[in-house]
Amino acid sequence: MLPGVPIVLSGPSGGGKTSVCDELVRRRTDVSFSVSATTRAPRPAEVDGRHYRFVDRERFESMADEGELLEWAEVHGELYGTPSAQLESVRQGRMLLLDIDVQGARDVRRRVPEAVLVFLLPPSAESMLARLRHRGSEDEEAMRRRMRTALAELDAVGEFDYAVVNEDLEATVDAVEAILEAERRAVTRLGAGLVGRADALAAALRGALE
């Protein structure tokens, strides 16, 4: 069995991370989506347990205090975090997909050095602004806060392992899938199983040469 891979999709708001995650989960049965916990209220069409785990601030703070969160942060007055228990799917050989912000990606890298960090970029400033304005669930000031946050996040692109421009959804998902497949077959991930297989092949060759 190939090893599991935790893969972080991050980048500025308006980069299309949610759409990419949804399509990857739809395409592949070996991908698990990491459902973050948050104290913010659900947006229209969001489902508890599927898009987020919606909890109150007291419960969230308890999870943080008890070490139940892989990473967490306060963003625009609301708390967001990744439950550590979700890494169990990686130990079972699955690919765990995390849709988190840049600071969260940094925290995951510190806690899980083998995680793969992918920075997702919108194809243009115009498209990014259009996606932000299309949300419709936020007022003007909230949108401006997201823009200021996006400015800081764009500066972090050099900290990531890969960058993908999300100009076309299908092509973007193809690119992320290629990253996943390459990482699952990296020698550093295959470890003892790869060494054992190579040793067995070498022994067979030595026997044939005798």
Q: Is residue 80 part of a domain?
A: no
Whether 30 is in a domain gets the answer: yes
Indicate whether this model's pTM tops 0.85: no
What pLDDT does residue 137 have?
57
How does the average pLDDT of the chain come out, rounded?
87
pLDDT of residue 91: 79
Virtual CA dihedral for 26, 183, 53, 38, nearest 10 degrees? -130
Between 125-134 and 140-154, two packed helices, what is the crossing angle to 10 degrees?
140
Query: Cα dist. 40→10, 14, 77, 130 in Å?
Result: 19, 19, 9, 23
Give the total number of structural domains in the chain: 1
What's the domain range around 105?
Answer: 5-34+93-209
Residue 137 within any structural domain of the chain: yes
82 close to 98: Cβ distance less than 8 angstroms: yes
Averaged over successive runs of 10 residues, the pLDDT of the chain (210 residues) comes to 82 84 92 93 90 95 94 89 89 88 92 93 81 66 80 90 94 95 81 75 85
Q: Which of 153, 161, 166, 152 is nearest to 124 (CA)?
A: 166
- Is 53 a member of any domain? no
- Is residue 43, in this structure, part of any structural domain at all? no
pLDDT in tens, 83-100: 999 888 887 888 899 999
Task: Annotate 42-60 with DSSP letters as a single string.
Answer: PPTT--BTTTEEE--HHHH
Does a structural domain hold residue 139? Answer: yes
Instruction: Give the pLDDT confidence of 120-143 residue by residue, as tens digits.
Output: 998 887 877 777 676 555 677 877
Q: Residue 113: give its domain's CATH number.
A: 3.40.50.300
Q: Say if 111 falls within a structural domain.
A: yes
| Residue 1 parent element (H or E) | none
